Structure 1
Amino acid sequence: MTGSARNFLEFHDVPEAGLRSIVARAGELARAWDKRTMPQSLAGKRIALIADDGGWRNTTAFDLGIQAMGGLCVHAPIGFNVREETGDLAGYLGNWFDMLVIRTKELATLKAVAAASPVPVINARTRSNHPCETLGDLAYIESRRGAIDRLKVVGVAADANILRSWTEASIALPIEVVQVFPERWHVSDTALLNRRFRVSTDMGELLNADVVITDSWPGDAVGDSLAGYRIGTDLLDRLRKDAIYLPCPPVRRGEEVTAEAMEHPLCQSRAAKAFLLHAQNALMEWVVA
């Protein structure tokens, strides 16, 4: 963690015990959400929501969750690295708010905000990582399987923010993460490499996976050169019957996944993304505790 604040900039910022408590709490909040009995855990809290990098899903969920738990959410129309120094912005925001939820392009910018901020900072997405997305998926997986221990997670994806957050998770939690993709797109950042993460080009790794994730194909792929890494129903039919397939939105049908595969019983993207809200709510509770 950065300083004394409970920041969430990278998945492994939070100790294992904290992550387990957040994931478990997400399940409780999911039930409270369904019953419309949300705890007012953020009553009296003033939270800034800053999104200078587009997107809508997790920022909408943050806004909704803050209000449902009694907090005050303000959309601050800030662009970083434009007119004011990042450290100055963090200080000004700290005068008014109890927490900053920020979606921005660069992780380095987010770290600079956290270093100068007197209040906690949550990463709502950068181009380098997307820890809330992974946290939500893990909360969903636990709701289905009862535990997240000893998972084998196979990411059929390039070195980008979704896969990198799963790699961060393998640092913090006892899960195995395998990247399956052509070598030119393998994760090589030494800060992420660890004994529970490895790379491969073998799609056979999926056959005994507990969870399979995919992300949009990289923009520098040529033609249909990645066709061998496309997820179709023929492959999903060969996976374990209890496997969970989680394509990451926005899904590009005909690229990383076929249209038919999106209707396969193992594809649980819509149900899993419901837990993005619940996991983020649990995270905010943990941050202000």
Structure 2
Amino acid sequence: MTGSARDFLEFHCIPEAALRWILGRAGELAKSWDERAMPQSLAGKRVALIADDSGWRNTTAFDLGIQAMGGICVHVPISFNAREETGDLTGYLGNWFDMLVIRTKELATLKAVATASSVPVINARTRSNHPCETLGDLAYINGRRGTIDGLKVVGVAADANILRSWVEASIVLPIEVVQVYPERWHIRDTALLSGRFRRSTDMDELSDADVVITDSWPGDASEDVLADYRLGTDLLDLLRKNAIFLPCPPVMRGQEVTVEAMQHSLCQSHAAKAFLLHAQNALMEWAAI
């Protein structure tokens, strides 16, 4: 068997036109959600939801979205790279399901599943990337600004899955992504070093940012090394008036952000994360075509 053309494993595996459709459709589905009039786009579709890793936000949103759009969602209690071969597991799943939504540790495992699967496979998070999280944020930004074109996104974060997904997005979409962090934690993966991504240690990069994101401090860092990269109201006050601050959950107040930063007018975390549901719903509609 060969993989499906509707897989979503990395952000840049979907053409720009399809991504733009998904972002626009997410805005439409947000209105349908508020009106409690969701289209039954997944009626008759059987979706396997596999959480081979911890976390709750996007898997809960997938479950809710599948049901709201008329599909059947089954939580499949399996683990990859254990007793059964990945190819065998994928074959058994393909007997019953029209789509596989998988949260697992290794991107390589997800790619192996997709290669063996004849139905679409959606990445619900790996340690290497988290494309649905970024898709949801972009859908929110698109709705707020009317476009994503020309965005400057500054990630005050170490090399981790959230930042990597934004970098992946910059490969296929016309957005600029800048990592601002001590060099020790810079992204060095040559596959991600596209023309629209660059690295810096200069916090002045935030001054003209349209979007600022954060992630949890790396576990091997001491506070004195990263203190200058903590986002507080003093720094947020210097951003553009229409900038969007999106600290990545789970937020560790007192580390990557201050307590006060979470109450700042530019912090739109809760509103943006609502679009995780809408973007994932639009993604599943696209995958089910």
Report the TM range for the smaller structure's normalisation: over 0.9
- Please report the TM-score for the alignment, with normalisation by the length of structure 2: 0.99
Runs of 4+ in structure 1 over 6 Å off = none
Letter of the 1:72 partner, please give it: I
> Which amino acid is 1:60 matched to?
T
**Matched residue SS, 2:198:** strand
Query: How many Å separate the matches in 1 of 2:205 and 2:52?
Result: 37
Q: Which amino acid aligns with 2:56?
A: W
Cα pair 2:4 2:114 within 8 Å, conserved: no
Q: CA deviation digits over 1:128-156, x for unaligned, max 9? A: 00000000000000111010000000000
Q: Are the equivalent residues in 1 in contact too, given 2:182–2:201 (CA < 8 A)?
A: yes
- Given the alignment of the two structures, is residue 130 of structure 1 paired with residue 134 of structure 2, yes or no? no
RMSD value, Cα: 0.7
Task: Give the structure 2 partner of residue 264 of structure 1.
Answer: 264
Q: Distance in 1 between matches of 2:4 and 2:85?
A: 22
* Residue matched to 1:165: 165
Q: What's 2:23 paired with?
A: 23
Once residues 65 and 227 of structure 1 are traced to their aligned partners in structure 2, the CA distance between those partners, rounded to angstroms, is 39
1:222 Cα deviation from its structure 2 partner? 1.9
**Matching residue of 2:288:** 288
Does the Cα contact within 8 Å between 2:98 and 2:120 map onto a contact in 1? yes
- Structure 1 match to 2:118: 118
**Alignment-derived partner of residue 233 in structure 2:** 233
Instruction: Determine if contact 1:5/1:118 at 8 Å carries over to the other structure.
Output: no
The separation in 2 between residues aligned to 1:167 and 1:186, in whole angstroms, is: 12
> 1:103 matched to which residue of 2?
103
Give matches, 1:36-47, under 5 Å: 36-47=36-47
Unpaired stretches in structure 2, ≥5 consecutive residues? none
Residue matched to 2:218: 218
Structure-2 separation of matches of 1:177 and 1:4: 29
SS at match of 2:224: coil
Using the alignment, how far apart are the partners of 1:224 and 1:37 within structure 2? 51
Shift of 1:179: 0.3
- Return the alpha-carbon distance in structure 2 between the equivalents of residues 108 and 193 of structure 1: 20
How much does 1:225 deviate?
1.4
CA distance in 2 between counterparts of 1:191 and 1:51 reads 27
Please state how far the C-alpha of 1:5 moved relative to its aligned partner: 3.0
Given the alignment of the two structures, is residue 250 of structure 1 paired with residue 250 of structure 2, yes or no? Answer: yes
Deviation, 1:3, is 3.7
**Cα pair 2:4 2:118 within 8 Å, conserved:** no
Once the two structures are aligned, what percentage of the paired residues are identical? 82
